Every structure is written in structure tokens, then in C-alpha cells.
Amino acid sequence: MSRRVQLVDLRKDYVLKGETVSALRGITLDVEENDYLAIMGPSGSGKSTMLNLLGCLDRPTSGQLILGDQDIGQLDDDELADLRANRIGFVFQSFNLIAQLTLLENIEVPMLYQTRGGHMDGQRSRELAERVGLGDRLRHRPSELSGGQQQRVAIARSLVNDPDFVLADEPTGNLDTDTAEEILNIFDELNAEGRTIILVTHEDAVGNRAKRIVRLRDGLVQKIEYR
């Protein structure tokens, strides 16, 4: 199965107070397997809209967004939910961990929604916790972890279902400089091992870690920079 992501003349409109606002105005872009892409741009450039579309949280108004061999515009809500659960790993700025669950249980959450033969696999969760340097914190809850440790849990959680790509939304936005560097090192390692990374950021220091920077402005690709 292909793990490419293709955007073809992708457009997204919203109706606000009776007026149509074009958030994306025709984006064409290919993301190859093992790519490392940073999406950047000023407020209102379309970054959040593109993030929502890539994460299958919304559908385009027109054009195509193809994940592997699936056009998300042609999928119903259940099919979109299956695609999110099975093929996309999410890392959020605010971590989005469940306070009542332990570190290990938080990592295992996506397995509850997986439909392509997935099951609760404590061994894989433990291996991922070790991978992000938290093998000795398995029974800790989010309130007992630092911000950097919580983001490490979020990264491990994003990988537990072996997704086609990891989508990260401002993954270092709530972290200090040293901790942010540690998190970015993990993304670098994952990409070096063959994982496709797509991140949204407003920080040049973060974007510069990627292989390519796609700069948006007013819903259009302003330029693509190769690192």
C-alpha cells in the first residue's frame, strides 16, 4: 500500500456570517514516503486548515487529498475515523494525554480504535516507552511528568499503531529550548529510520530541522524551501 500523500488543487472554504472565506485556495503538493515536511506561515495563512485536512478531521471543498490510495473527499465519517485510527499518528502542542491513565495506558489508547487487526499490545507500548526514554515511568500519570516527558508520551502514542505518517501540531510550542531540542532529536531519529513526519510550526528553528519547508500565505503555497 502506498504511503504517499498527494494534495491536488486542494481548496477549503468556510461560510462565516453569510460570507464565504477561502482558507486554502488551491494547494498542490506531494509528500513522499520518508519525507520530513514543515508547514509554516503567518496567522491566517491556512496552516491550521491544512492540518485539519491532513489529519482527516475535515474534508476539502474541492480538489483532492489522497492518502496512499484513498481520496478522503470520497469517504464517509466512519471511513475517515478508520483512516485516522489506522494510518495517522498525532502529536499535539498541548499533549492531549488522559489525566486518569498511566503513561503506559496513554500510549495504548490508539489501539482501542484500530480496525486493521490491532489489539492491545503491552510489549509494543513498553518498547515505545523505552524508546522515548520513559521505561522507568510506566505507572506515572501525566500530572507526575514534566512537559517534555508528556510530549515524549505523546510521540510514543503516535507510533503505537505503526501509522503511515506522524502529524505534529506545534510539538515544541509549550516546551523550553533544551526540552524542545530533545523532542526534535526524536523526530530526526524517526525520520532517519524511515518514518514520514509532517509538522506545523511558526518557529524557524523547528522548521529548519525538516527536509522541506512549505511556506503558506493567504491560502496558497508561497514557496518551498529545500534544506
Q: Is 95 a domain residue?
A: yes
Q: Is 144 a domain residue?
A: yes
Does pLDDT of 129 surpass 70?
yes
Average pLDDT over residues 61-84: 91
Does pLDDT of 140 surpass 90?
yes
How much of the chain exceeds pLDDT 70, in percent?
Answer: 96
Q: How would you class 4 by CB atoms within 10 Å of its CB: exposed for 0-12, middle for 13-18, buried for 19 or more? A: middle
Local confidence band at 120 (pLDDT 50, 70, 90 cut-offs): low
Q: Is 79 a domain residue?
A: yes
Q: Is 4 a domain residue?
A: no
Q: Is 15 a domain residue?
A: no
Backbone angles phi, psi at 64, to 5 degrees: -130, 140
Taking the C-alpha atoms of residue 40 and residue 62, their distance in angstroms, rounded to an integer, is 22
Domain tally, the chain = 1
Q: Where are the beta strands (DSSP E) in 128-226?
A: 165-169, 196-200, 212-217, 220-226
Average pLDDT over residues 92-110: 94
Q: Is 9 a domain residue?
A: no
Backbone angles phi, psi at 39, to 5 degrees: -105, 120
Does pLDDT of 2 surpass 90?
no
- The pTM (predicted TM-score) of the whole model is 0.91
pLDDT of residue 115: 56
Q: Is 12 a domain residue?
A: no
For residue 178, the domain's CATH number is: 3.40.50.300
Q: Are 157 and 114 in contact, with CB atoms under 8 Å apart?
A: no
Q: Is 69 a domain residue?
A: no
Does pLDDT of 118 surpass 60?
no
Q: At what angle do helices 147-159 and 122-131 cross, to 10 degrees?
A: 130
* Structural domain containing residue 190: 33-46+75-211+218-226
